[in-house]
Amino acid sequence: MGTRTVFAVLAETAARFGGNHALHQPIPGGRIQKYRSWTWLEYKQTVIEIACGLRRFGINPGDVVALDSETRAEFYLADIGVMSCGAISAALYVSYPPADLVRNIQHCAAKAVFVEDPRTLETLREAARDSLDVRWFLLTGSAPGATSLDALCEAGRQALKATPDLFERIQAGYGPGDPAILYLTSGATGEPKMGLVLHGSVASNLDVGPAVLPVGPDDVTIAFLPSAHIAQRVVLELLPVRMGAPVWFSQSLSQFPHELKTLRPTWLLAPPRLWERIHSSICTEVRKQPGHVRKIFYMALGLGLEAAVLRQEGSPIPVWIKAALPWADRLVFRKIRERLGGRLRIAASGSAPLGRDLALFFDAIGMPLIEGYGLTEGGIVSFNPLNRPRAGSIGKALPGVDVRIAEDGELLLKSGYGFDGYYKDPAATAAVLRDGWLATGDIAEVDPAGYIYITGRKKELIVASNGKKIYPSKIESLLRTEPLISHVLLLGDHMPFVAALLTLEPAVASQRSPEETQRELREAVARVNQQLAPFEQVRKFRVLDREFSMDYGELTPTMKVRRQRVLENFRSVVQEIYGKD
């Protein structure tokens, strides 16, 4: 564990890059997009004012403060302001139903809640029905019974005016060994839990950034993932603080494609779902082109894939492929990269497994996806080397991380970046921390070069009726690379064969007749089956009448499928496939 607090990391960067811009928040309205910006010195000063204002409002070290907001600059300011007060910051998944958010606030015993805007505040209050005894703060706007962010900062300034050394006193009241963040897990395999992470653990995790993700003041990134997720919180909020890298915030997902072209990011973190959609849209557009254009695309892609596979294997690329690749890049690949701004030098994938075929596609077009791995309980623990990523791998363990594979194949980790335990749940903590090793729940392999490969989740293991073990994530990833397929859930536990529930990409399916859709799906499943062992192959599939949804409890806020809930909601379809309960 490190010897610094989160505020100390911010203070170091403000001292180095004080006048440089740190945050850029979109200002709604107007034909030309404008931004409100904060320098690093302004970032630091605002955090100090928030911390002192919170203390004036009775928030003390160890108190929990919840945040219910989309990812935006004011969230960053409040988040680090809470930590700098010595309190514990607990971000909520805004996509949860209001009643669930209220239960989470109650479960963590929050003394105060930061809410994004007056409308969100009203929704929470209605869901709470006077059951929450908390102080309300608004990140934007104003409302009766709530303190605006500006008013909170003003309270902090007045407190500092009355007691000039107030912030120094606050800093002396907590340290690296105290909790900074209370993470709410996404609940992909069960009910969400809350994990406490200490200041020193967060700071230590950030300190490996320069060695594995070299970004800085001249780089551009766009933040759009939910701030409750560790990938967003560490990589796109706190790592830029450590590296002095500015962050632009997305106005909305609908504006994101336009923002890619106008902001032209140099590095970007996105979940596999976004990379899958980009791949799907490219394939769909290619199919609409005249025959000669499609031929050029597939010739170029064939060359790129051949070169990508050879690079992955560490084999030399033949001279004729080297000579042809500039042609392929000029005619095809460069145009694809320009859709993402044309400047991406680090395209990272996280929050869920990335399929090998999808990774090879992006490597082929000259934009290799750099996959990493982290978890609420362990921090960010592995990342692919930028100069030698391997498709299908989560990379190598970061400095300071020890890796071990248990007898049953489970990935075990030990580092100074992990959590301190589940909040008020010692039994759950003991179940994952064993003799200092964190049991991740992921099944993994490590090759001789140290690259780690996740092959499945222990809780999602399918055991066929003949005893064969099948890890669905690999097969589901292969199927999701097909442009027509949106979500996949594999079936077959204690059954004689493997089957799949599929949902369709609406934009792609709408361009096909039902007969064409069924034919393409059969061909897609056949292509995937060719890459699988006989006992893994999908024998039957059914297309569901709707996509999986968070409203029905089938998806987590990070778009992971809740397997058990899907099985419950589509029980009749499963019964029809297998002919039994």
The DSSP result for 32-84, as a single string, is S-EEEEEEHHHHHHHHHHHHHHHHHTT--TT-EEEEE--S-HHHHHHHHHHHH
From the CB of residue 288, how many other CB atoms can be counted at a distance below 10 Å?
Answer: 9
Q: How far is the C-alpha of 256 from the C-alpha of 71, rounded, in Å? A: 14
- Which amino acid belongs to residue 467? G
Which tokens belong to 226? Answer: 């939910």
Q: Put the strands of the sheet holding 421-422 in their side by side order.
A: 146-148, 135-138, 112-115, 64-68, 88-91, 179-184, 194-198, 421-422
State the pairing for strand pair 64-68/112-115: parallel
The pLDDT value recorded for residue 186 is 59
Q: How far is the C-alpha of 432 from the C-alpha of 421, rounded, in Å? A: 9
3-state secondary structure of 289: coil
State the pairing for strand pair 146-148/179-184: unpaired
Residue ranges of E strands in 271-357: 346-349
Closest CA to 64 of 93, 88, 91: 88
Closest CA to 266 of 237, 246, 252: 246
Q: Are residues 246 and 220 in contact, defined by beta-carbon separation less than 8 angstroms?
A: yes
Closest CA to 452 of 366, 353, 325, 528: 353
Which tokens belong to 103? Answer: 């239960």
Which tokens belong to 202? Answer: 């967060």
Does pTM surpass 0.85?
Answer: yes
Q: How far is the C-alpha of 386 from the C-alpha of 320, rounded, in Å? A: 26
The DSSP result for 174-221, as a single string, is --TTSEEEEEE---TTSS--EEEEEHHHHHHHHTTHHHH----TT---
Q: Are residues 474 and 456 in contact, defined by beta-carbon separation less than 8 angstroms?
A: yes
The pLDDT value recorded for residue 543 is 93
Q: How far is the C-alpha of 460 from the C-alpha of 442, rounded, in Å? A: 10
Q: How far is the C-alpha of 233 from the C-alpha of 219, rounded, in Å? A: 18
Q: How far is the C-alpha of 563 from the C-alpha of 325, rounded, in Å? A: 42
Q: How far is the C-alpha of 39 from the C-alpha of 121, rounded, in Å? A: 29
The pLDDT value recorded for residue 560 is 79
Q: Are residues 196 and 108 in contact, defined by beta-carbon separation less than 8 angstroms?
A: no
Where the chain has pLDDT below 70, the residues are 1, 186-192, 558, 580-581
3-state secondary structure of 559: coil
The pLDDT value recorded for residue 574 is 92
Q: How far is the C-alpha of 206 from the C-alpha of 241, rounded, in Å? A: 9
Q: What are phi and psi of 140, to 5 degrees?
A: -135, 150
Q: How far is the C-alpha of 483 from the C-alpha of 100, rounded, in Å? A: 34
Q: How far is the C-alpha of 549 from the C-alpha of 553, rounded, in Å? A: 7
The pLDDT value recorded for residue 458 is 82
The pLDDT value recorded for residue 580 is 60
Alpha helices in 410-551 (DSSP H): 426-432, 472-480, 506-509, 514-529
Q: Are residues 145 and 39 in contact, defined by beta-carbon separation less than 8 angstroms?
A: no
For residue 384, the number of C-alpha atoms closer than 13 Å in the C-beta half-sphere is 23
The pLDDT value recorded for residue 69 is 96
Angle between helix axes 98-107 and 118-128 (nearest 10 degrees) is 80
Q: Are residues 358 and 272 in contact, defined by beta-carbon separation less than 8 angstroms?
A: yes
Location of structure tokens 């930028």:
386
DSSP3 helix / strand / coil % (the chain, rounded to 5): 40, 20, 35
- Residues constituting the chain: 581
Q: Are residues 491 and 574 in contact, defined by beta-carbon separation less than 8 angstroms?
A: yes
Which tokens belong to 481? Answer: 């690379």
Closest CA to 174 of 45, 86, 83, 241: 86
Distance of CA 121 to the CA centre of its chain: 26
Which tokens belong to 93? Answer: 């998944």
Q: What are phi and psi of 462, to 5 degrees?
A: -105, 125
